[in-house]
Structure 1
Amino acid sequence: MQKLGYPARTIIVFAALLALAVHWVVQPFGKQWIWLSTVCILVFAASLVGWRTRQLSRARERSTHILKALGAATVDIPLNLRTRMPLVLVTGDALASLFDHGASRPRLVFIGDGAIWLRVDRPQDLPEIALAMHQWRDGLPPDGVVLSIAPAFHADADALAQRLRVARQALADASRVVSARLPGYIAVYQRLTRLAPRDANAARQWYSVAAGVPFIDAKRFDAIVRTAEDEARRRADDRYASAHAAALASIIGWTQRAVFGTLTDPRQPAAPWALHGAGWIDCGPASDATRPWERDVQMQTCIAPATVDATPAPWPLPQSLIESMPRRRATSPRIVALAHAVGIIAIFAGAAFIGAGRHNAKLLDRVHADLDRYVSITPDHDAARRDALRALVADRDELDRYARTGVPLKLSFGLYHGAQLLPPLNAAIASYQPPPPPPAVVTLDSMSLFDSGKAQLKQGSARVLVEAVEMIKANPGKRILVAGHTDNVGDAASNLRLSNARAAALRDWLIEASAIPATQFAVQGYGDTRPIVPNDTPAGRAKNRRVEITLVPDTANNTN
């Protein structure tokens, strides 16, 4: 039964929804680009979901026959044991000789001693099959990839190098899709000598080295050669042992140069193989002096190796290589997904906290700026002071609304400090005092009160002065300034004396008519120094001949 594996699409949708929620509710980056960023989030999430869906569909289509074969081959293996057994993907040369074992049709799965061997006919299929195995094993990737190399199957070293580059790229892609670096192993199948061993099983013996970590260590390979040489010395009368030891040293050296170099060269674009082991066996296809290894031997020794016949199938799988295979801990993909979900929540919670902090900082800066602006405006600039006061009232109402109905999410998360600004806002608003009203002024035409050049009130002028008397009686407690003005006709000094005399005459009449003490009155003559219109026309000069009665608050009597 194939399990669901890692719910990548669910995690993508969850992350997208969380991003949209934080973006719209908390608005950590402001409102300027909210719609554009929303579209970007939706398009990016939809693209990821579509890509993942296509990837899984393609892997499922290409591995359907393998999954069926796996199900049939592992039907008797308990589910928990199936997950713990090493699963090895085998690709490269001579797969029919390794898997078919005389079967009427190609076999895809072989259950060996403690391992599941899975056949991958094309190295390019490694990513899809690795992903399918990742799903089939409930989130556990394959334990390793074995590259089977039969040098005699290749026309020359360049053709072999090209196949190796394809395998290198395929393993890099497979490691990427399963998010794990897959261990790589090399199994070299090559007839080393045409001689037959005394013990038929000797030709089926693997000479290998493997480790739990990647290695390229010439000393490890030297140990294999020394083992074969020691065996040849013990069996000095066995020509096969001597020829086998010499050929083994040659094939190991050739493998290091021709195979390991291509798979691990850091200058290649694909990621190098994580090489965990390599093995050689005197077993393989028919070979002659035109094959890559034989050519290398001839170049090194000037001796052409003899033609050899193919080893009858089946050929053994490199069981010794997987004995040191690193074992992975099986972690349920749902547990991994839960951990990722928690991490995503933590990331967006951090974004929400950052956004709330920024919004709170802007709120505090705005309110403090409004308070500083209000305080900096002097009372004599009342229009600007009223504008600043309106801003303070709006700030106070906003903070009061938050106190009554709750703080919005974009300001909350324990970062809201607006409540502490309410007292200074209320105090600043209460401190506003409107300016006193401007002095009341009554302007009287001098010609209606006085004859030209005279300072005595004319008969009948009382009717003109009734309004002034009523204004004075309606504003008790205010000082009364009586000021006289003339046009510019005549001598300035005479005009000044005349304006002062007319103001004094009007003051005396007002004292008598209103019964207000003389101490409340002040008299001032300005002559022609304060015209209200130019004196260049008769109408202008007529307007400038006037007497003004101004009511001024008595600061001595109205101080609180």
Structure 2
Amino acid sequence: MQNSIKFVVILLATLLFLWLVWGFWPLGNTVSLFLSALAIVIAGVAWYWRFKQQQHSKILEKQVSTMLPPASYQQAIVLVCGQSEALFPNGLTHRETSQAWYVSITSPAMLLDVTQTVVETAPVQLGQLSVLFAVLPEQLVLQETLTQEMLNWRRAISESRSKAGVHLPFWVSLYLSPIQQTDPYAKYRHEERPWLTLLNHQREFQVEQNGSLVQPLSEWVQQFFTSEHQQLHTMLSFDYLLDWLQQVFTPQLTVEQAGVRKLVPSAWAIQFIPITSVENNSWQQFITRRTGLAPLTSTQNVPLLPLPDILLTRLHHDISLNRYERLMGAVGIICGLFLVGALSGSYHNNRQLVRHVGEDTARFIQLSDTPLAPKLVTYQQLQTDAVQLSHWQREGVPTGYSLALYQGSYLLPHLHVLLSSWAPPAPPAPVIVQEASEMVSLDSLSLFDVGQYTLKPSATKVLIDALIHIRAKSGWLIVVSGYTDNTGNPVNNQKLSLQRAESVRDWMIQTSDIAPSCFAVQGNGQANPIASNNTAEGRAKNRRVEIRLMPQVDACQASNE
């Protein structure tokens, strides 16, 4: 389920990025295609990596599922590292007490696998997880072996914290045989033996028994031991143990190592209980160097070493978000980044729109009517801007200009006022003649959009072909006539046909060297159909622009001057 959600997050991030590229950022087709392909490749690699990780997680889950508690388990979960075999004899993989579930971790690699399994299968239990390092000085032999093992454990614990995403509490339990020849704690059952505990904010070890705080060690020794000799012997022996920790064990946790963080235990738990000693162990070597005497060897006489439940309630876990909350946070960040990118793109596009219309407006205001052509071109550009903004107002604003940043609604009224304040000079009065020498008929739909009189970009080729067949000459008038079908209002049809004829005439004047005096325009509307208006094919033929050469005395004299 967790991996499925991550797959959905990857897909969401990819789709939002593609939306940004194609909907909001004006990058051009080439750059947009490249970024889209790159995003899809990255998403595919991430998806494949998550899929392989999911397969690996399933294998790990099968291997360690018997060691971990069920997902509904509410108590503490303790991963026991170090010399954990002594706490889990006879192949035990876990031990359960009234307060916790202890898991035997026999290698650094196993610690990483178990942590990964908890992360993938029961992330809600991360707040119950801690790492306990078990130390038995009487079963440590070589200092070099201890150093290398501690380095590996430190690296594994650091990586486990990274996998878990939380700072897992790290604490230490130490087991040592009583230093006296006779066990002073023999009267207690092994689960009732006192614990010497120390939290990282305390200065002196405390003695706890049956889960209750008794008193500081110095006071407890005076009450527990009746003779001063026993008190002195106990405190001196405990000082030796602290020296061993400071000189032999603790440096293995805190000495700086390349690429490995130091470990500072948040709590210590020490218990004196008979432990089977190995020959020439680390504790024995240390005592011999300090005193010249060898400590007594012992044999473990308890079936299971007690577990330090007494400290569980005082371990400080990180107050952090659980796995699902962090996942939802990641989704929120992705959506937030998308929103920032979309707003940035929309802001840029609207800024460009305002600048473009502003430049057209300023150019139109600055130009005079003489010469007329530049003013007319700018006027037509303003018409194009107004048509586009009107279309967006009717049909909807493009995505790249939206998100409440669209400025076209403020620009359009200004354009309308500006366009209504000026009109091109009226062309010479047309001379209508009856006799025709040459005629070219053009389909209106190839020149104009439906109901429009602005020439389409694709009309240029059609008009050039027509211009080739029309040659201005003295004594002949070029008559441009517009026609429509009989659909719609006759008055509007007549006006539209005239506007279309004027558009064709204006284009020919701007494109060629023919003088304006060579032209006359007519708007015939739906009159003079050349086909039946009862069929779509006939109506299409009637929507036309005709260009004729008509004889006219004194016409087109400018072309010969």
Asked if these proteins are the same fold (TM beyond 0.5), I'd say yes
What residue is the counterpart of 1:25 in the other structure? 23
> 1: distance between equivalents of 2:202 and 2:178?
20
Q: 1-side partners of 2:330 and 2:207: how far apart? A: 45
Give 1:405 deviation, angstroms. Answer: 0.5
Distance 1:23 1:161 in 2: 54
Please state whether the residue corresponding to 2:271 is helix, strand or coil.
strand
Between 398-407 and 140-149, the greater mean CA deviation after superposition:
140-149
- Of 281, 296, 302, which residue of structure 2 is paired with 1:291? 281
Indicate conservation of the 8 Å contact 2:204/2:217, yes or no.
no
Say yes or no: does 1:129 pair with 2:136.
no
- 1:139 and 2:128 matched: no
1:199 aligns with 2:185: yes
> 1:208 is matched by which residue type in structure 2?
T
TM-score normalised by L of structure 1: 0.65
CA 1:323–1:437 in structure 2 vs 1: closer, same or farther (change >3 Å)? closer
1: CA distance, partners of 2:42 / 2:293: 61
Q: Partners in 2 of 1:156 and 1:355 — Cα distance? A: 66
Change (3 A) 1:231 1:426: closer
Please report how far the alpha carbon of residue 294 of structure 1 lies from its aligned counterpart in structure 2 after TM superposition.
3.9
Task: Give 2:300's match in structure 1, choosing from 304, 311, 330.
Answer: 311
* One-letter identity of the residue aligned with 1:130: T
- Please give the residue correspondences for 1:25-64 in structure 2 after superposition, counting only pairs within 5 Å: 25-27=23-25, 33-64=31-62
Q: Could you tell me which of 367, 370, 394 is aligned with 2:360?
A: 370
1:179 corresponds in structure 2 to 165
Offset of 1:426 from its aligned partner?
3.0
Q: TM-score, normalised by structure 2?
A: 0.65
Unaligned 5+ runs, structure 1: 439-467, 471-549, 552-560
User: What whole-Å deviation, never above 9, does each CA across 1:198-220 have from its counterpart, x for those lacking one?
Assistant: 4323874321223xxxx3x5724
Distance, in Å, in 1 between the alignment partners of 2:251 and 2:381 is: 75
| 2:94 counterpart letter in structure 1 | V
Which residue in 2 is equivalent to 1:148? 134
The superposition leaves residues 128-175 of structure 1 with CA deviations (integer Å, 9 ceiling, x where unpaired) of 211212344353314211111223444333322222221121111111
Q: CA deviation at 1:28?
A: 7.2
Report the CA distance shift for 1:379/1:264 in structure 2 as closer, same or farther (over 3 A): farther
**Residue in structure 2 matched with residue 112 of structure 1 by the alignment:** 97
Give the aligned partner of residue 157 of structure 1. Answer: 143
Paired with 1:399 and 1:145, the residues of 2 have a C-alpha distance of 66
Residue in 2 that maps onto 1:169: 155
CA contact (8 A) 1:208 1:278 kept: yes
Larger Rg: 1
Aligned length: 422
Query: 1:168 corresponds to which letter in structure 2?
Result: R
Distance 1:275 1:56 in 2: 33
Q: 1:70 to 1:436 in 2, by over 3 A?
A: closer
CA contact (8 A) 1:140 1:330 kept: no
Deviation at 1:375, TM superposition (A): 2.5
User: Unaligned stretches of 5+ in structure 2?
Assistant: 209-213, 429-473, 476-556
Q: Quote the residue 1:426 is aligned against.
A: 416
Aligned CA distance change for structure 1 residues 153 and 361 (closer, same or farther; 3 Å): farther
Which one is further off, 40-49 or 141-150?
A: 40-49
2:451: which partner in 1? none
Cα distance in 1 between the residues matched to 2:375 and 2:273: 100
The 1:271/1:44 distance shift into structure 2, 3 A limit, reads farther
CA contact (8 A) 1:209 1:321 kept: no
CA root-mean-square deviation: 3.7
Instruction: Tell me how far 1:248 sits from its aligned partner.
Output: 2.5
8 Å CA contact retained: 2:18, 2:36: yes
| 1:94-113 pair list within 5 angstroms | 95-100=84-89, 103=90, 106-113=91-98
Deviations, residues 297-344 of structure 1 (Å, cap 9, x unaligned):
445x34343252342442222222313123677977545544443443
Shift of 1:239: 6.5
Deviations 1:448-494 (A, max 9, x none): xxxxxxxxxxxxxxxxxxxx9x9xxxxxxxxxxxxxxxxxxxxxxxx
